[in-house]
Chain A
Amino acid sequence: MQWEVVIGLEVHAQLSTQSKIFSTASTAFGAAPNTQTAVVDIALPGALPVMNKAAVEKAIRFGLAVNADINRKSVFARKNYFYPDLPKGYQISQFELPVVEHGAITLRVEPPKGEAYDKVVNLTRAHLEEDAGKSLHEDFHGMSGIDLNRAGTPLLEIVSEPEMRSAAEAVAYAKALYSIVTWIGICDGNMQEGSFRCDANVSVRPVGKAEFGTRREIKNLNSFKFLEQAINYEVRWQIDQIEDGHKIVQATVLFDPDTGETRMMRTKEDAHDYRYFPDPDLPPLMIDDAWIERIKGEMPELPAAMKTRFESQYGLSAYDAGTLTASKATAAYFEAAVAAGADAKLAANWIMGEISAQLNREEKTIADCPVSAERLALMIKRIADSTINNKSAKDVLRWMWESAKSADELIAEHGLKQETDSGAIEALIDGVLAANAAMVEEFKSGKEKAFNALVGQCMKAAKGKAPPAVVNEILKKKLG
């Protein structure tokens, strides 16, 4: 039987505010346990939540970025459950009326086999809520330790429609979403610190069947690699179960990166009975048109628009434009290099090629690139005006990486300047032809290969410092 995979994603993006969503405690990561808590966060009786305006602004920014509806009135609700890292006994979230609804994002899917393609994924909603604290299960004399520093950190939970049909599509969606939230500055995107976490709802159904199969939810995936591995494992598992005659039971599972498997969390029969109701401590959140308009005016150019502009303004291919606009920092680096005089196509090639490879090797991002866009631009100018060839340029880039020297200084220091005086090159070629009369004869008798051998001899004589195109041209003229 042919199976179709159905995936919906819930992403928790931590909003990059200074203070918590309902208290004035700091949200900074890594502080000593429980030193960033206010009365609201530890749920002292009578403590009342006061909403952080910046969290609302960031939710609005997100709504604008994905062309969603921003509800002029939305409601906070209590999601009731008991767990020690949630001292109130409920999480303040949004249920019936979220701040953002609908909207869509376009993603570029690169499946393991076959051609890359674009896909539009619709969003169901995005709502504001508070994060819980952290439970530490190391041994405290048989007890658990609770750190409430994270309790009350603002989150935007972004829920997609179940429109993804493979792990590759789910990863492309998560990456596109990641790019948007970091691009518009609402989330710092630090996945190791849990700033961007994915839950994947996965089910399978026979191809052609209209109803969805029973889904299982994989919780708390904090890397794109784990997201992909977990979905692939889960899909195989579900298909095996069904083909062996078992039924899928709705469940919440965790992914274990060590084994590459998903396993069921202890089932709590009442786990999904959250008894939501509007929070009497918080009147409805009202957002007026003027506020939305003001934020609209402050929005940066979005990745999709910038990609289109890169194609038209710089004549880049869709692929190059897409790669360069995958992160705001890379796009800015590229534009800075072009502004400093680099040829756009060459700049794109070098940034996506040598520079990105070296950054990957060193596990750095473009923000930490030791070669500034301006220094790169000078090097590219020297390629464009034939002062150096591509091969020497790679050396120059490596040296620039390790020192503060400019391309010009390094070219001079290492004597890399190519011979551009055609008279000098001609003299050099005459010498080579005279010394290799046999080869010249071979060529004249029809052996095409001899031409390449002559080019090789000329380049050798020039010690690699003559532009190959010029050598070719002069050589052809002389032999022709």
Chain B
Amino acid sequence: MSLSLDDVRRIAKLARIGVTDDELAATQLQLNRIFGLIEEMRAVDTSGIEPMAHAQDVGLRLRADEATAPDRRAAFQAIAPAVEAGLYLVPKVIE
């Protein structure tokens, strides 16, 4: 599988990464190299092997249901670009 320039544009847009036209070809090459590596791995016979969802063979750690986090709004909002009435302000979004 290899990506077209349009694929690269689309992925960049979905990921909200600004890729200029100058950078497109280089990005395409890099991504296609990754796909090449994936193709190589796909060539290995993995039939009968259960796919892993995580690199480590461990189970999820669970914690008790206790609401212990303190209110740290003031500290969190000290580094926010804009706040008002306890809210974070962002450029207007409307569905």
A, B co-complexed = yes
A89 to B14 Cα, complex, angstroms: 11
B54–A283 CB distance below 8 A: yes
Does B42 sit within 8 A of A, measured CB to CB? no
A80 contacts across to B, CB distance below 8 A: 14-15
Number of interface residues of A (CB under 8 A): 58
Return the contact of A143 from the options B55, B56, B67, B92 (Cβ within 8 A): B92
B53–A51 CB distance below 8 A: no
What's the minimum C-beta distance from B6 to chain A, rounded to whole angstroms? 13
Binary CB contact string for chain A from 28 to 53 against chain B (1 if under 8 A, 0 otherwise):
10001111111000101000001111
Chain B residues 50 to 95 lying within 8 A of chain A, measured CB to CB, are: 53-56, 58-69, 71-73, 76-77, 82, 84-95
A285 to B61 Cα, complex, angstroms: 8
What's the minimum C-beta distance from B58 to chain A, rounded to whole angstroms? 5
What's the minimum C-beta distance from A19 to chain B, rounded to whole angstroms? 4
Chain A residues 46 to 63 lying within 8 A of chain B, measured CB to CB, are: 50-56
Does B33 sit within 8 A of A, measured CB to CB? no
Return the contact of B62 from the options A32, A56, A140, A273 (Cβ within 8 A): A56
A23–B92 CB distance below 8 A: no
B67–A33 CB distance below 8 A: no
B66–A51 CB distance below 8 A: no
What secondary structure prevails in chain B residues at the interface with A? loop
Does A194 sit within 8 A of B, measured CB to CB? no
Does A212 sit within 8 A of B, measured CB to CB? no
Chain A residues 213 to 265 lying within 8 A of chain B, measured CB to CB, are: 254, 265
A145–B89 CB distance below 8 A: yes
What's the minimum C-beta distance from A348 to chain B, rounded to whole angstroms? 38
With A17-B65, A143-B89: A37-B73 Cβ-Cβ less than 8 Å: yes
Return the contact of A266 from the options B89, B91, B95 (Cβ within 8 A): B95
A284–B54 CB distance below 8 A: yes
With A33-B85, A145-B89, A147-B87: A283-B63 Cβ-Cβ less than 8 Å: no
Does A11 sit within 8 A of B, measured CB to CB? no
Binding-face segment, A274-282, A298-306, A436-444: A274-282
A32–B86 CB distance below 8 A: yes
B66–A42 CB distance below 8 A: no
B10 contacts across to A, CB distance below 8 A: 270
Nearest A-chain residue to B79, judged by Cβ: A44
Nearest B-chain residue to A15, judged by Cβ: B65
A23 contacts across to B, CB distance below 8 A: 69
A37 contacts across to B, CB distance below 8 A: 69, 72-73, 76
Return the contact of A19 from the options B14, B67, B73 (Cβ within 8 A): B67
What secondary structure prevails in chain A residues at the interface with B? loop
A145 contacts across to B, CB distance below 8 A: 84-85, 87-90
Does A357 sit within 8 A of B, measured CB to CB? no
A53–B84 CB distance below 8 A: no
Does A349 sit within 8 A of B, measured CB to CB? no
A270–B93 CB distance below 8 A: no
A143–B90 CB distance below 8 A: yes
B73–A82 CB distance below 8 A: no
A413 to B88 Cα, complex, angstroms: 63
B93–A285 CB distance below 8 A: no
A136 to B88 Cα, complex, angstroms: 10
With A34-B76, A143-B89, A144-B89: A52-B62 Cβ-Cβ less than 8 Å: yes
A342 to B9 Cα, complex, angstroms: 74
B65–A146 CB distance below 8 A: no
B90–A280 CB distance below 8 A: no
Return the contact of B59 from the options A42, A140, A275, A283 (Cβ within 8 A): A283
B86 contacts across to A, CB distance below 8 A: 32-35, 147
Return the contact of B82 from the options A25, A42, A143 (Cβ within 8 A): A143
A25–B69 CB distance below 8 A: yes
Binary CB contact string for chain A from 78 to 93 against chain B (1 if under 8 A, 0 otherwise):
0010111000010000
Nearest A-chain residue to B63, judged by Cβ: A50
Report B's interface with A, CB cutoff 8 A.
10, 13-16, 53-56, 58-69, 71-73, 76-77, 82, 84-95
- A-B contact list, 18 entries, CB within 8 Å: A24-B63, A26-B67, A27-B67, A34-B87, A35-B73, A37-B69, A37-B72, A44-B76, A84-B88, A135-B93, A144-B91, A145-B90, A273-B14, A280-B54, A282-B60, A283-B59, A284-B59, A285-B59
By Cβ-Cβ distance, the 4 closest A-B pairs, closest first, are A145-B87, A54-B65, A286-B59, A33-B86
